[in-house]
Structure 1
Amino acid sequence: MPPKPKLNVQNFPRPPLLERTPRHLQVKWHGQTIADTKDAYWVLETYHPPTYYIPKSSLSISLTRTQKSTFCEWKGWATYFSVTGEEGKETVKDRIWSYESPNEAYKEIKGYVSLYAGPWECFVDGEEVRPQPGDFYGGWTTSELVGTIKGDAATRWL
């Protein structure tokens, strides 16, 4: 199979582009697959790796809404969730979010969720992703991406 073409994050659009992606997305937690889908959207935004949105129905875990919410100038208000692992041993809070009432341009992601690339392992077409630098943005970084990726202190003003 030929290598995927490189995608320069500096050429991604602003405002962000929302589009359906046929990529195979998987999320594993403690050896269990907790999400598996080819029915996803990605959001491409300048200086960011893609943020993937998957249907809630592709999750094999239960979500509990938390008190956290954040505002995106493009998508609107985000709602956050916690999940508890098998046997109630570990709870992960505010690492999954959704836009329950997204702005009109992003209405397709209503009913979809996005996950930070940790504490679980996330995969795009079989490649394990790296989290976007820092702990604010939830992009998934793969080997096909080139360019400066926003997230750490050095990229704050990009």
Structure 2
Amino acid sequence: MSVSWEMTEQDFEDVKHLLPQSVVAMITVIGLEAAFHMVKVWGGTNYPISNRRRNTRQSRILHAQLVEDIGEEAAGRLERAYAGQPFLAIPRCWDAMRELRNRFIRRQYDAMSAEGLSDLVIVRELVLAHRLSTRNIRYILKEADREAAARAQTDLFAA
């Protein structure tokens, strides 16, 4: 059973309300894919920003590392947007990442259930695949997707 998932544009839209404003701003500057990579790899750290105006060895090394991580174009946009700052604080986005994981687990449950597997077998597989307890998996399966409050309110009056 595969336990990795990729964030799509739709996933981003669905959990955007759970992302810190700094990540939303970073996505605006460098795009979803590059920002997601930065959060996934460097989340919880202060990522040093190259000051390319000073052509020092350290700034060239920092720039090269950023290019390796997110590409030349995104690296340039990030350095221009955050010029003058010694580093970029990259949040872990734990709420959004946990919500994406939980949605993935619910999708896996639905897919395995459609294949005719029993609830006990599915839950056991999910426990082993995600290294969570049975209680946690059951809790995840019972909860609904977390949506933005405003969106949920507008849906009430849409009918």
Superposition TM-score, scaled by structure 2 size? 0.23
Q: Name which structure has the greater RCO, CA cutoff 8 Å, separation 6+.
A: 2
- Structure showing greater radius of gyration is 2
Structure that is richer in helix per residue:
2
Structure that is richer in strand per residue:
1
Superposition TM-score, scaled by structure 1 size? 0.23
